[in-house]
Amino acid sequence: MAQDEIEPVDPHVGLGDAEGQFGDLNSRFSPAPVRSSEPVQLSEIDQPATTIEDWVAQIEASLVQITNVRVETTEAGLQVILETAGGSLEVPETRSVGNALIADIPNATIAEEFSQAEPIEGIALVSVTSLPGDRVRVAITGTDAPPVAEITSDTQELTFAVTLGNANTVTEEDAIQVVVTGEQDDDYYVPNTSVGTRTDTPLRDIPQSILVIPQQVLEDRQVRSITEGLENAAGVTSIANPAGSRDYFTIRGFENYGNFLVNGIPDPQIPNDSSFINVERLELLRGPASVLYGETGFSGIGGTINVVTRQPLDYPFYEVSATAGSYSDYQGAIDFSGPLNDSETVLYRLIAAYRNFDSFLDFDEGSAIAIAPSLALRLGPNTDFILEGDVNILERNGQLPQGQPAVGTVLPNPNGEIDRSFNSAGPQPNNLTIMGRVGYRLEHRFNDNWSLRNAFRYLFADDNENDGEPIIFNSSFADDNRTINRRFLIGSQYYNTYYLNTDLLGTFSTGAIQHRLLLGFSLDRDTSNLDNEIGDAAPVDAFNPVFDQTVDPTGNLTTDRFTTRDTLGVYVQDQITILENLKLLLGGRVDLFEETTDNRLTNEETNQSDTAFSPRVGIVYQPIPPISLYAGFAQSFAPTIGFAENGDAFQPERGTQYEVGIKADINEQLSANLAFYDLTRSNVTTPNPENPTFSVQTGKQRSQGIELDISGEILPGWNIIGGYAYTNARVTEDNAIPEGNRLFSAPEHSFNLWTTYRIQDGDLQGLGFGLGLYYVGERWADNANTAELPSFFRTDAAIFYERDRFRAALNFRNLFDVEYYTSNFGSSDFVNRGLPFTLQGTISWQF
């Protein structure tokens, strides 16, 4: 194994941080260390505490602090010496995990974590890091085999006398790959991902632009939604109400309403009223991804968002947190994890939260409960199983806050400016939405080269708990420039998704050429059950609102239908290493879909089916190891349901992308990606000029652009994630929209930067600061280009303090209270107001 293919053992990772959808489960399940004695009990402390402060002080006093770590070369290998200011450390038992020797020292803390790469030949990494539960982990990783250590304790030292292990005792299956990068503080730097290939692959080897927003970024910004998290991604612009609970965007100029994954599995419900409490990180795969995940959802050709959730840990972890923010926003959460048996073959995680909130908009308040349990089992030495799920219960006034008229906000109104807090929905009865998912992921390794993965997920969304009360929403803005016409909806909606996926992965060689083959298939069933009545509600004056919420339902349904869509996808991918610095990616997928709609109003059943092929080709050339030059071609599809005038079913909508770019590792902890792309959307429906009651698929839209991303650590303690996007997205063919019009919510220029600094030592160690700068250029609210949203420059900030198990943070959003707007789903009449200045305070404690 070449040393540039080695990566360090991270003592903090959970089950979701490695190969494909499943993680390197084998390295997570390992026998528990046998400790020479039990941890110090409260009863053993000489002076009983009478206050919480005394109790905490006594616990800390009972711990031994490691003040310095020395690594010295010896004739037999090396010595790792842990120095203490006073007191002796217990001699721990050791265990081997792959090619790493692990020792967890109880009742200990460390002043500053330590990491040294390649201290001698045969040793890839020596790291000494803190763990929850007052433990310190020593990990000594061999390049080919786990080393052996004899441990001795003195009054102020614990010494590991290390010798090299025997490589013949370790199989390739057991070996843990590590990358030697010196300092291993990778908080903002993520070198690998699985979203771009369905296999764990270095980002520099993937011929497509991918951005990972890691957990530390989400924590530093105290992110509470996918929308807030993706503010760190260039070229992504929100098109939903900031006070709402939906996460919809434009990516590379094209709208994205349901093109999402959760742990690599398609999940169209995650952007709708879901919780964020169990999110580990976000991954953005830009451009078409049908070759890997099937249909792109509703016009999701611009990109795919993968939500990676927190996984069970192999050590005890307990955290409680409380958050309070502006507009009476309060949340409490717990996060518990660890092994359920001594052999650590059964791991669990339970995350739960309760939130009560208001917003800057009138009549917008509610509460939410979220629970996310997961269980990981090692069924055998080669078989691992994860059972996971979550449920989210949201109760709020009405359903979603309504946008405000464009005339009176972004456009002048002779009656003046509409109040920032105005919500035309008015007071409404509470609406209860219940959403959730449950599923499993299974992996079996046949041998060193071949493995099988299988996953299943069931999603449900129930929005039928309004007790027959109406939901009132905007319809249009009257010519008097003050009256908002409104409508009501009474009814129910249910959504269910069943998804089954199986992958076969193998590695082999044909002569000097290496192959990493992926064969797979997926079965997907989506059902929706809708029945409602829609009618006119009383209008409201935007400048002198008097809300009349009475409606006059007739009992005659406007919609009453049950729809089922079944999709079968079969795909193949080959990652080919032609030379060490030349890699080729080939892939193709065939999808067969059928949609049946039972219209219960007309007692008619309609059926539509089609087949789509999605190819992908990419090449990566690395003239020097830190630089990757890549080029790629990919296509995607999205079913278009409907019929032309001649009775022919519509063909799937298509996305076609050409992309070239450069990926660079600026240093060992800082990387950048520059991408140039040309993305075309075709088969877009547009009115038939000869019979406008029908549509024809002659529309085309095109986006060309440049994106630059940078993320990682600049200097010790100084992290950064930022980007710039130039987007030229336009209508190129259409029978209703003038050619050359810009696509809605697609700013030509956008820029984002978030940076933090943590004081590394001294009395202020643990204190940190964050600064965020976000610029979004002018963009149109609709494709007809009738209302232009002004550009804005927003500033965010944070102050936080971290010490041992305690963290406190203050996050400031829109620090200078800049007024800004987002598009209201491409509407020409209404826009959404951005969040004003808000303050959010969070404290958390691990124990």
Dihedral through CA 37, CA 91, CA 115, CA 185, nearest 10? 0
Contact (CB, 8 A) for 204 and 628:
yes
pLDDT-derived band of residue 430, with 50, 70 and 90 as boundaries? confident
End-to-end CA distance of the chain: 39
pLDDT-derived band of residue 15, with 50, 70 and 90 as boundaries? very low
**What is the structure's pLDDT at 835?**
94
Going by C-alpha positions, the residue among 376, 385, 517, 389 that lies closest to residue 453 is 385
**What is the structure's pLDDT at 609?**
94
pTM: 0.82
Q: Cβ of 658: how many Cβ atoms within 10 Å?
A: 15
pLDDT tens column, 801-816:
998 889 999 999 999 9
**What is the structure's pLDDT at 505?**
97
Kind of pairing, strands 788-789 and 779-780?
A: antiparallel
**What is the structure's pLDDT at 834?**
93
**What is the structure's pLDDT at 466?**
62
Query: Mean pLDDT, the chain, as a whole number?
Result: 88
Residue with tokens 């055998």: 380
Please state the φ and ψ torsions of residue 470, each to the nearest 5 degrees. Answer: -80, 150
pLDDT-derived band of residue 489, with 50, 70 and 90 as boundaries? very high
pLDDT tens column, 131-141:
876 788 999 98
With residue 227 as reference, give the H or E element that holds it: helix 226-229
Q: Is the model's pLDDT at 228 over the cut of 90?
A: yes
Dihedral through CA 396, CA 397, CA 403, CA 405, nearest 10? -170
Contact (CB, 8 A) for 10 and 28:
no
Please tell me the least confidently modeled range out of 340-344, 413-417, 584-588.
340-344
pLDDT tens column, 466-475:
667 888 999 9
Q: SS3 sequence, 634-697? A: EEEEECCCCECCCCCECCCEEEEEEEEEEEEEEECCEEEEEEEEEEEEEEEEEEECCEEEEEEE
d(CA 618, CA 621): 10
The mean pLDDT value for 726-747 works out to 96
Query: Is 224 in a helix, a strand, or coil?
Result: coil
Contact (CB, 8 A) for 290 and 637:
yes
Q: Write out the two tokens for 107.
A: 């009742």
Contact (CB, 8 A) for 752 and 774:
yes
**What is the structure's pLDDT at 830?**
95
Contact (CB, 8 A) for 114 and 82:
no
pLDDT-derived band of residue 384, with 50, 70 and 90 as boundaries? very high
Going by C-alpha positions, the residue among 393, 371, 375 that lies closest to residue 384 is 375
**What is the structure's pLDDT at 298?**
62
Counting every residue, how long is the chain? 847
Contacts of 750 (CB under 8 A, 6+ apart): 234, 235, 237, 724, 725, 727, 775, 776, 777
Please tell me the least confidently modeled range out of 2-6, 506-510, 695-699, 701-705.
2-6
**What is the structure's pLDDT at 17?**
37
Burial 149-164 (b: 16+ CB within 10 A, else e): bebeeeeebbbbbbeb
Kind of pairing, strands 317-325 and 265-266?
A: unpaired
What does the radius of gyration of the chain's CA atoms come to, in whole angstroms? 28
Q: Is the model's pLDDT at 29 over the cut of 70?
A: no
Contact (CB, 8 A) for 705 and 677:
yes
Going by C-alpha positions, the residue among 109, 113, 136, 114 that lies closest to residue 125 is 114
pLDDT tens column, 164-215:
887 554 443 343 333 333 333 448 999 899 999 999 999 999 999 999 999 9
Please tell me the least confidently modeled range out of 186-195, 199-208, 480-489, 578-587.
186-195
* C-alpha angle 108-69-807 in degrees, rounded to nearest 5: 50
d(CA 134, CA 804): 9
Residue with tokens 């839209």: 701
Contact (CB, 8 A) for 549 and 472:
yes
164 half-sphere exposure, CB direction, 13 A CA radius: 18
Q: Cβ of 7: how many Cβ atoms within 10 Å?
A: 20
Q: Is the model's pLDDT at 552 over the cut of 80?
A: yes
843 half-sphere exposure, CB direction, 13 A CA radius: 2
For a pLDDT cut of 90, what percent of the chain falls above it?
72
Q: Cβ of 228: how many Cβ atoms within 10 Å?
A: 19
Query: Is 708 in a helix, a strand, or coil?
Result: strand
Beta strands in 107-252 (DSSP E): 108-110, 114-117, 123-131, 135-142, 148-153, 157-163, 192-193, 201-202, 210-213, 236-238, 249-251
The mean pLDDT value for 388-409 works out to 91
Dihedral through CA 633, CA 639, CA 640, CA 644, nearest 10? 100
The mean pLDDT value for 223-234 works out to 96
For a pLDDT cut of 70, what percent of the chain falls above it?
89
pLDDT tens column, 31-46:
333 333 344 443 444 4
Distances from the Cα of 583 to the Cαs of 317, 622, 629, in angstroms?
Answer: 41, 9, 10
Burial 428-453 (b: 16+ CB within 10 A, else e): beebbbbbbbebebbbebeeeeebeb
Q: Is the model's pLDDT at 398 over the cut of 80?
A: no
pLDDT tens column, 292-324:
999 876 667 999 999 999 999 988 999 999 999
Query: Is 254 in a helix, a strand, or coil?
Result: strand
Structural domains in the chain plus CATH codes: 3-169 (2.60.40.3500), 317-846 (2.40.170.20)
d(CA 332, CA 677): 43
Please tell me the least confidently modeled range out of 287-301, 521-535, 649-663.
287-301
Q: Is the model's pLDDT at 26 over the cut of 60?
A: no
Contacts of 740 (CB under 8 A, 6+ apart): 730, 731, 732
Contact (CB, 8 A) for 105 and 92:
yes
With residue 420 as reference, give the H or E element that holds it: none
Q: Is the model's pLDDT at 520 over the cut of 80?
A: yes
Q: Write out the two tokens for 163.
A: 């010798």
